Structure formats: structure tokens, C-alpha cells
Chains A and B, each alone.
Chain A
Amino acid sequence: DSGVTQTPKHLITATGQRVTLRCSPRSGDLSVYWYQQSLDQGLQFLIQYYNGEERAKGNILERFSAQQFPDLHSELNLSSLELGDSALYFCASSARQGVHYGYTFGSGTRLTVV
């Protein structure tokens, strides 16, 4: 158990639908990162939050949004889902900003859009 909790573990939904993925960071970690992993693209950075504020944005589609709540858990909202959104979505956390400290990843949410 890495200490980063992601729910649900699996999600199957239809095109056009909206889903919410949830992440609880490791205790004490203020930064949360969301990544998408697909077979052809590898791990792609989506967005980062630090202590409730958005700090960095990667290749995140406009149909996707995220937030970090006062208790530091984070949610990634995916809407108007397309077949191509099927992927593994990982949340990671770190105690401080700065990549040198390394990230702790959750076990991911496998999203299948049918």
C-alpha cells in the first residue's frame, strides 16, 4: 500500500457520459498530480495541485477538469467521454513541490469507455 488511495479501481461507462475519479494523497503530502497512461502514449501529465491551488497544467483536454479540496483529496472529472479516453488514470502525491523528491503513485483507475 503506497498510501495514495484511488477510487474506483475500475470504471466502465458509455460514450458521452461523465465520470469522477477520486484520489486521497499520502498523509501529509500537499501536492497531487494526475497522469493518464495509455499503451501508445505512455504516462502523460494532466494537472497538478498544491495545497488546493492549481500549479501546473499539461496535456489536459477541455472536457477534463480537476480540483483539490481543503482536506487535500482531489477529484478528476471527465465529461463527454470518447472511446479514446479509455486509459489508466493515476494520481500521485508528494510532500513538497519540486520533482527531486519523487512521487508516490496510487494503483490507478482503469477507465473503459464503450
Chain B
Amino acid sequence: TQLLEQSPQFLSIQEGENLTVYCNSSSVFSSLQWYRQEPGEGPVLLVTVVTGGEVKKLKRLTFQFGDARKDSSLHITAAQPGDTGLYLCAGDGGSQGNLIFGKGTKLSVKP
């Protein structure tokens, strides 16, 4: 069974700080996605990484896919209160043809 482990589980920081959250697996994924979920809402897709070693930037967010395609990281520069939310990584579930999700990192950015 493919599993995605996310760390840390919780992160509380001050506005302006930098942070990195991680998504790890013992399995190889053809792609990984990152979603952000706010309370009372469904997850919203931020990015898809497909190639090992790939780096994608979305304003202050930098996403990296590991060379072996088993892990990914999300780095946020100068965090803002609007970045608060649950960050989920997801990868293809193999033969099931669906996404499997990690349990997420709950980020709180205090003004």
C-alpha cells in the first residue's frame, strides 16, 4: 500500500518567517500534487510536479520533487496570515487510478 507521510503535523509561526513542510514515501510516484485546504472548504490544487528534481514556484511558494520521485517539499518565504491552512500532498494511487493523500500539515501564521 502506498503511503504519504507529511511533516510536521502542525506548524505555528509568525508573519514574515520562512518554513518548509515535507511529504515522504517509500514508493515511487509518477507525479505529486500539493493542495491547500481552508476550514469549511475543499482542497484547492496548488501545483503538480512530474519530473524528478523538478522545482516549481508559485509566488512565495516553492515546490520541489525529489530526484527519486519519492518525496516532495513545499517552502514558503515570508509567510503571511493568508497562508494559514491545511497543506496536503497527494500522489497517484497506482492501479486504482485515483489520488491518495497524506494527512497534511496544519499551518498557522500569526500576524
Count of A-B contacts judged by CB separation below 8 Å: 70
Task: Determine whether the beta carbon of A102 is less than 8 Å from that of B48.
Answer: yes
Interchain CA distance A57-B98 in the complex, whole Å: 9
Task: Determine whether the beta carbon of A48 is less than 8 Å from that of B45.
Answer: no
A90, A102, A105, most chain B CB atoms within 10 A: A102
Contacting chain A: which of B17-25, B56-64, B69-77, B99-107?
Answer: B99-107
Binding site for B on A (CB under 8 A): 2, 4, 33, 35, 41-43, 45, 48, 55-58, 90, 92, 97-108
Task: Determine whether the beta carbon of A45 is less than 8 Å from that of B50.
Answer: no
Q: Which of A33, A41, A103 contacts B45 (CB 8 A)?
A: A103
User: Can you show 23 pairs from A to B with CB atoms below 8 A apart?
Assistant: A35-B101, A41-B103, A42-B101, A45-B93, A45-B98, A45-B99, A56-B93, A56-B97, A58-B96, A58-B98, A90-B42, A98-B97, A99-B30, A99-B91, A99-B92, A99-B98, A100-B50, A102-B33, A103-B45, A105-B44, A106-B42, A107-B40, A107-B41
